[in-house]
């Protein structure tokens, strides 16, 4: 079908999946790393940094924004993007728990 049965899962599972999905493209990982590295939250320099056309970058930024991973603010005729720490923290919190709390290894693995 190509359609996810979202309603069958919890809100947290859907949110974590949405964030992970947004990070599930190397260009978007590169954008996050770029935003981390620059001192001010530089805007369209991302387009110059990445090997993709401007509309493609714009689309990737939109997806990161929809997932709550970044936010943008208008600066003159440019737009300034930066990382949204709360979202990343929430995501890290859940993924960290994937490290099971078992003290002993299971029999099989």
Which residues here bind a copy of itself, judged by CB under 8 A?
A: 4-6, 8-10, 13-14, 16-18, 20-30, 32-33, 35-37, 39-41, 50-52, 69, 71, 73, 75, 80-83, 85, 88-89, 91-92, 94-102, 106-109
Closest by CA position to 22, among listed 62, 64, 61, 53? 64
39-68 binders of DNA (CB under 7 A): 43-44, 47, 52-56, 58-63
**CA–CA gap between residue 12 and residue 95 (Å, rounded):** 11
Which residue lies nearer to DNA by CB, 89 or 109?
Answer: 109
Cβ distance 82 to 41 under 8 Å? yes
Binding mask 2-41 for DNA (x = CB under 7 A): xxxx---------------x--xx-x--------------
Chain centre distance of CA 39 = 19
């Amino acid at each position: 079908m190509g359609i996810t049965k979202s309603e069958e899962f919890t809100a947290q599972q859907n949110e974590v999946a949405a964030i992970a999905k947004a990070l599930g493209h190397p260009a978007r990982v590169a954008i996050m790393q770029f935003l981390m590295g620059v001192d001010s939250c530089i805007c369209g320099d991302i387009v110059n940094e990445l090997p993709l056309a401007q509309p493609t970058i714009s689309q990737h930024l939109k997806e990161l924004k929809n997932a709550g991973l970044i936010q943008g603010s208008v600066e003159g005729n440019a737009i300034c993007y930066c990382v949204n720490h709360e979202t990343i923290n929430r995501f890290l919190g859940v993924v960290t728990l994937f490290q099971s709390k078992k003290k002993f290894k299971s029999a099989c693995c």
